[in-house]
Amino acid sequence: MQTIINTNDIKDLIIIGGGPAGVASGIYAARKKLSTVLVTDEIGGQSVVSEGIENWIGTIKISGTELAASLEKHLNAYKGDTVDVCKGECVTKMEHNDNIFQITLKSDRILRTRSVLVATGASRRKLNVVGAAQFENKGVTYCASCDGPLFSGQDVAVIGGGNAGFETAAQLLAYAKSVTLVHRRKEFRADPVTVAQLLKHPNMHTVTNVETIEVRGDKFVTGLIVKDRDTDHVTEISVTGIFVEIGVTPNTNFIKDILSQNETHHIQVDPRTQRASVEGVWAAGDCTDELYHQNSIAVGDAVKATEDLYHWIATRAKSKV
């Protein structure tokens, strides 16, 4: 049965997501005394699994878990009596009627609000080849910092030549016997400094310009089959662990029928204000069609959105006086 929390209590703002974008908006909303609920599965966002973030401005190096803890501490210090944090929850539906948004949570509870900031970020893209689903958690994994130590002294592969792939390889080199990074293209997408640093490691190997076509194994993974994109030559790389870093997909399915999205399902926003296609809705961070996705960009865009929605709410309140 659905329960509407405080039926008469229509909030100024519901923030969906507790990554860097959602938390930044929560802090700004608190300081502006907007009545707000921040709904999220967890606080911290995607880089929580990172061992070392080196571009969080003002901090030379911080782990993902430390960053998550500091975001939560900052939010809790400022949330005061206007911002509620609803953790361990998930928004499943958003509806719109008479300038009021109705937000349904996983627990079937319902919240009502005048404005919404969508900051739901993105999730890892799954490897879609023969054997990948069958061997998930039996050698195929999506989290080096969670599962990496299980592969101590073993030969492992990382699929993906972007920053996440190289960061994963760096973590694994601390305990794996060897790391083979497999990439679709001839050139890597990761930062040249990171690539140059890792390629110097004696246990680091790369296989480029290949399509991954199959994960092989018996009870657990025993190998990865790749095909050269020019010659069609097929090779088996003998590994017991496969770490997949082939990008992310935005968490926007629950609002796909309401907000305009691009072909990759990122929410389309006005980059000056972060306004989405429906009046009263803003979006920020990795769920948007912003060209670059980084912690600091997510925070900046969320701040921009919260400034803009604050003025929007204030203007509407005045026009009703």
Ligand X SMILES: Cc1cc2nc3c(=O)[nH]c(=O)nc-3n(C[C@H](O)[C@H](O)[C@H](O)COP(=O)(O)OP(=O)(O)OC[C@H]3O[C@@H](n4cnc5c(N)ncnc54)[C@H](O)[C@@H]3O)c2cc1C
Binding site for ligand X (CB under 6 A): 16-22, 39-42, 45-47, 49-50, 53, 55, 90-91, 119-122, 164, 167, 251, 254, 285-286, 293-296, 298
Minimum gap (Å) between residue 235 Cβ and ligand X: 27
Contacts of 314 (CB under 8 A, 6+ apart): none
User: For the CA atoms of the chain, what is the radius of gyration?
Assistant: 22
Nearer to ligand X, 139 or 285 (CB): 285
Give phi and psi for 136, each to the nearest 5. Answer: -65, 130
Nearer to ligand X, 34 or 122 (CB): 122
Residue 94: CB atoms within 10 Å: 22
Alpha carbon distance, N-terminus to C-terminus of the chain: 38
Instruction: Calculate the alpha carbon distances from 73 to 11, 24, 46, 292 in Å.
Output: 23, 12, 18, 27
Nearer to ligand X, 36 or 225 (CB): 36
Minimum gap (Å) between residue 71 Cβ and ligand X: 9
Minimum gap (Å) between residue 215 Cβ and ligand X: 21
Q: Which amino acid is at 7?
A: T
Nearer to ligand X, 130 or 150 (CB): 150
Minimum gap (Å) between residue 22 Cβ and ligand X: 6
* The two structure tokens encoding residue 308: 């803009």
245, 280, 282, 248: which is closest to 265 by C-alpha? 248
Cβ atoms 131, 213 nearer than 8 A: no
Nearer to ligand X, 53 or 313 (CB): 53
Minimum gap (Å) between residue 218 Cβ and ligand X: 30
Minimum gap (Å) between residue 18 Cβ and ligand X: 4
* The two structure tokens encoding residue 45: 């966002």
Nearer to ligand X, 123 or 235 (CB): 123
- DSSP β-ladder status, 91-97 and 11-16: unpaired
